[in-house]
Every structure is written in C-alpha cells, then in structure tokens.
Structure 1
Amino acid sequence: MKKRAYAPVALFIIFLTGIFGMYFLLENGILGTTKVSSVELIERVKDPVKVHFIDVGMGDSIFIEVRDVNILIDAGPKENAMRVVSYLKAFGVEKLDFIFLSHIHEDHMGGMAEVIRNFDVGKFYASDKEIATRSYENMIGALAEKGVPVTESKAGVTLTFDENITLSLLSPNSLEYINPNNYSPVTKLSYGQTAFLFTGDAESTIEQEIIRRGLNIKADVFKAAHHGSTTSNTRSFLERVDPDYVVVTSEEGNDFNLPDETIMSLFTDLGSKVLMTEELGSITFSSDGREVRLLNH
C-alpha cells in the first residue's frame, strides 16, 4: 500500500523532469528548432523602419533602415571603426544611401573614413567646417576616392521616403557657431504616429533655437544630446520631446564622466525609460507607424 501511495508523486516528478528537459532541448537548439542570432531575430521583424544605436564606446553611430534605404549618422571613434563596419555587414549592408556626419569631433568622425572605404556611398552630408586632423583628412580623402562630394547639413533639409516617412533636419540655423557641437543637426525621423529624435552633441543654444521656432519635436525615442551632458538636455527641451525612451551613448569609466547624474535623474523624473549602450551594447528599435518596439534587451 505504501508503494502505491508514492506512485503519483513519482509520476509527477517524472512529468516535471520531462517538461524541463524538453524546454532545455528547445532552448538550446537540440530539438525541434535552432538557436538564432540577434541579427536574425531583428531581421525577422518586418516593420518598415528600424533604428540601431551601435555600441561604439564613447561616441555615436546610428544606423537607420527605411525599407530598402540605408542611412548612417556618425561612425564613432577611429579605434572602434570596425565595430561599425562589422555591424553593418552583419545586416547585409552593401551601400549607405545617405551618411550624415553630425560634427567634426573624433568620437563621431574618427571611424568615418573606414566606413566610406567599405561601402558604396550615395550622398554625404556634413557642415562646411573643417579641422586639421588626420581623421578629417582621411575622411575627405576617402570621399574623394569614391567621387562623393560633401553636401551641407542645414535646417530645412528633408528626405521624403513616402507620404508617411520623412527625415528632417531641424538645425543648424547658422554658420557662425563658436562651438563645433552646435553644428550637429537635430534630426527627426517621422513615420506615421511615431518619431525618433537624434541630436549629436547639440547644446542648449540649439535646443533654445528650436523651441523659439516652435518646431514639433515630440518623439518616442530620444538620443540623449552630448552623451547626457549638462551642456544640453534642458528641461524645457525635454518636456517638449516627451520621449518614452532615452538612449544614452557612452562608455563606462569615460574621461568625461558622462552621462551626468543630474541629467540621468531628469530623464527618469520626466518618465522616460533610459537605455545605455555602455550597459546594454547596441540597441535597436522598430516602428510600424503606430508604435515603437524595442527589439532587444
């Protein structure tokens, strides 16, 4: 009689073991499926717009897919140039239809020559400001080799992909800024009811210009300006953006102590979810025109 009493318990244990064993086999691709990479998972999403914040350490590099059009904003520092090249090639990129260089600082421009040499380039946008550095000279040389001229970035430039998808430059509005950061075009990607706002290192001067012009800067995803510095990210500007997500591009232990803790607190106080490349690596979103989805993490 005692042996019979134990039988249901033993059967239950065997059942649980079988369930967990099956889960292990499926999860590890041993039975019934194969484990897929993050690239494959992202590519399975068929939304017309995808935005990738590539982890380049302390710097910016943003890859935008609009249907079959490839766009790159910045290429990170020189030492991490191959991260950008490898990332783009992993997604099958052969041509960058549009490249935007936000400004001539190394953490945004350093990897650009390597990127230009590795891909066909359609149109290249940058400010008309020059700098006597090897990275700048290498970039200009790589463009010359490809026969691609520099087109000036300025407020009013708009790329229209269809009646529902546009990429608009909201700045710069002047050729006389003292700080190179302020030549960073604040750029809005709009698709249906959704939007992304990219800022480069634009500072409070530019933010206040945009506010005075009364531009619509509401966005679901906001790229923290100047890596979360107090020189940017003013409350009045952020309240108008009102983002669901803030992406901070930075590197742990960087020499600039960015992002600033007060700015991080401000993002949180305003109700945004903060995502940091130094913690999460590359971060990808997609949009179907109705909502934005975080595709990893």
Structure 2
Amino acid sequence: MQAKVQFLNVGWGDAHLIRHPSGAVTLIDGGDGNRSPDQDHPEAWMTRNGIDKLDWMILTHIHEDHQNGLLDIAKRKTIGRAVLPYEPFELPEEKLIEQTGSPMALRVYRMLASYLELIAILQEQGTEIIWRSSFGSEDRSVVWSEDGMTLRHLYPWHEDPLPGYETIVQAAQAEPAAADRRPGELLESFFDLSNHDSSVYSLSADGQASDEAAVLFGGDQLEPGWRRLSQRSSLAAQVWKVSHHGLSDGFNADILAWIRPQHCVIPIHAEQSKNLLPEWNRLRSVTEAPFHLTGDMRPGENRVIVRGTIQIEIGY
C-alpha cells in the first residue's frame, strides 16, 4: 500500500500533506493563509480533492507562514486530532502592547492570539488536541503508525531548550505597568526565537534502512537545534524539507553533512530565492542532492521527485 507526501506551493511558507495508505490525511503546517493566483492554500487542496476532514493537523511552531492556513481550515473543516506546540498561555493586555510596544511586538501579540484562537476553535469542534510534549522522548516519539508507515516527533524533546516559549512566560509575568516596555520587548524577541522551538518530524516506511527516513520535515529549526539532534539521532533522509526556507541559519554545509539527503525541498517563491542562489550554489559542492523549490510550481503543475512505497511530490 502506498503513501504520498505532497509539498504545496504556499509561497514563503510551509504546508505539507501526507496521504496515508488508508486514505487518511495529515497536514504539517498550513502556510500564511494568503490566496493568490501564484500560490496554493491547503484548504483549496482539500476542496480540489473532495476532502472535508483532516485526520491529523500538526503545527511545528508559531509563525504566520506556518499557522495562518491552519486557522482557516479549522474554521471550515473537521479536524480529528491536532498536535500543537504549546498548551494555552497568558498574554499581556493588548492595550499595554499597543501603548508601549513596537509594531513588531504588536504583530507577535496578534500572532500568539491567533494561536490561542486556533486552540479554542479546535476545542469547540471536539478535536483531540495533543501537546507535542507528549512525544518528548525516544520511547514516546511515535505520533502515528499505520500500514507500515510511521511518523515520529524528533525535536524538541523534554531536555531541549524552548527559548521562544520562555519569552512568552516572562512577558505574561511582567508587571502590567503602563510605562513598562519589557512585555513588548519580550514579545518582539519571540519572533526570532520561535524558530529555535520548531518541531522536526520524520516519516519512514517499513523496509527502509533503519537509520534513514523517507522524509525529514525540518520546520524552521536552526543549526543549534540540528546539532543537538544530530548528537542523539541519525538524521539520514531520502528527502529533507529544508529548514527556514533555505536561509543559511537552517540550510548549510554542516546540516547537510548530518542529514545526507538525496533530495532537498525548499518552500519558497522562486523570486524570493534569488538572493539566496549564490550561497545555494556553494552548497552544491558538498551535496549531490537536487534542490526542488515549491515556488517553481505554477497552478495545476505537479512534479513527482520520488516514486516507491512513499511517493513524494511537489506542486498542486
């Protein structure tokens, strides 16, 4: 029985679908929610394919380009189970951030508020919500296993730092004084730190080499996290969903050496990638893996990059 992984073109953003052998569907991240002629939306993919229910919804970390599309889907589709990064948290009063914070702090506040809205919508519709901390060790890393396919949560585990989450807690605990800029400053710092909190997932099939995944979903995890992960687990993968849209903090020679991918899938618009091409060309000297850009796919286009027990493709 065959599974299929499809990397959608959602511009500068992540949205990755797994079709289980049974026909069930897992969605890892949902893109930024924009609907335009040059990029897809996972809800549109569901509509095209006659799918009204997601069996699994997974959010790797809180950023608009991963989260917003999930919120759209939760408002209009049925979600069986959801794996989310954090349990509900307190936020400072929005008025305080408006008065004392920067535009970035207010942006992060609203991003975090949208995450809490996602939780509330899922709870209201009866979705089974599983906090990713449930998968916080090697012996508890399996998210699901079905018909010879296994999805595992590899990072973060219990011993791994969560600097992004720590700033949320600190911002909520700060004194709500009208002149106190600290909550806003903490929220502003969350934007970059959230990438360090990003989940990493692997999909594997029975019969593969025991130390190789079919697909490694890197979220926006950065080099320090990959280094930590490489010291406890084999990261070898047939296909690596490249971290952080191909920026050097998540896509460099060291990380390539740890993962040794046969294919690299980079979720980015072709136009947005132009400034990154010189560095990518240097990386081609340390890997033979082709670089596949989701943004190269025009509406209606689809490209199969791996055939086999798990078919892997990019596009619509």
User: If the length of structure 1 is used for normalisation, what is the TM-score?
Assistant: 0.74
The CA deviation at 1:148 is 2.3
Alignment partner, residue 109 of structure 2:
132
Per-residue CA deviation, residues 118-156 of structure 1 (Å, 9 max, x unaligned), is 321111111117663153244234213312253222444
In the TM superposition, 1:216-227 aligns within 5 A as: 216-227=234-245
Alignment partner, residue 241 of structure 1:
259
Q: Residues 248 and 259 of structure 1 are in contact (CA less than 8 Å); yes or no, is this contact kept in structure 2?
A: no
Structure 1 pair 137–127 and aligned structure 2 pair: CA distance change class (3 A): closer
Aligned length: 248
CA distance in 2, matches of 1:266, 1:234: 7
What secondary structure sits across from 1:132 in the alignment?
helix
CA distance in 2, matches of 1:247, 1:280: 12
Alignment partner, residue 232 of structure 1:
250
CA distance in 1, matches of 2:45, 2:261: 26
Report which stretch shifted further, 98-107 or 128-137. Answer: 128-137
Alignment partner, residue 145 of structure 1:
124
CA RMSD of aligned residues (A): 2.8
**Alignment pair present for 1:60 and 2:3:** no
CA distance in 2, matches of 1:110, 1:145: 18
Alignment partner, residue 29 of structure 1:
none
The CA deviation at 1:88 is 1.8
The CA deviation at 1:92 is 2.5
CA distance in 1, matches of 2:315, 2:109: 39
Determine which of 280, 286, 297 is the counterpart of 2:297: 280
Alignment partner, residue 178 of structure 2:
none
**Alignment pair present for 1:176 and 2:176:** no
Amino acid of the residue matched to residue 63 of structure 2? H
The CA deviation at 1:251 is 1.9
**Alignment pair present for 1:261 and 2:219:** no
CA distance in 1, matches of 2:315, 2:60: 26
User: If the length of structure 2 is used for normalisation, what is the TM-score?
Assistant: 0.69
Q: Residues 52 and 283 of structure 1 are in contact (CA less than 8 Å); yes or no, is this contact kept in structure 2?
A: no
Alignment partner, residue 142 of structure 2:
158
Alignment partner, residue 202 of structure 1:
221
Q: Which has the higher contact order (CA 8 A, sep 6+)?
A: 2
What secondary structure sits across from 2:121 in the alignment?
helix
**Alignment pair present for 1:49 and 2:3:** yes
CA distance in 1, matches of 2:127, 2:314: 34
Amino acid of the residue matched to residue 164 of structure 1? G
Q: Which runs of 5+ in 2 are unaligned?
A: 90-107, 165-192
Structure (1 or 2) with the larger CA radius of gyration: 1
What secondary structure sits across from 2:283 in the alignment?
helix
Amino acid of the residue matched to residue 238 of structure 2? D
CA distance in 2, matches of 1:258, 1:69: 38
CA distance in 2, matches of 1:105, 1:231: 17
Per-residue CA deviation, residues 214-262 of structure 1 (Å, 9 max, x unaligned), is x1221111111100011112423312322221111012444x9764631
What secondary structure sits across from 1:78 in the alignment?
coil
Per-residue CA deviation, residues 12-56 of structure 1 (Å, 9 max, x unaligned), is xxxxxxxxxxxxxxxxxxxxxxxxxxxxxxxxxxx6111111111
The CA deviation at 1:286 is 5.8
Structure 1 pair 267–219 and aligned structure 2 pair: CA distance change class (3 A): farther
CA distance in 1, matches of 2:285, 2:29: 27
* Structure 1 residue ranges (4+ consecutive) displaced by more than 6 angstroms after TM superposition: none
Q: Residues 51 and 284 of structure 1 are in contact (CA less than 8 Å); yes or no, is this contact kept in structure 2?
A: no
Q: How high is the sequence identity, in percent, across the aligned residues?
A: 24
CA distance in 2, matches of 1:113, 1:160: 23
Per-residue CA deviation, residues 187-219 of structure 1 (Å, 9 max, x unaligned), is 110013261010110001110111111x12211
CA distance in 2, matches of 1:268, 1:94: 44
The CA deviation at 1:95 is 1.5
What secondary structure sits across from 1:180 in the alignment?
helix
**Alignment pair present for 1:212 and 2:226:** no
Amino acid of the residue matched to residue 66 of structure 1? H
Q: Residues 123 and 148 of structure 1 are in contact (CA less than 8 Å); yes or no, is this contact kept in structure 2?
A: yes
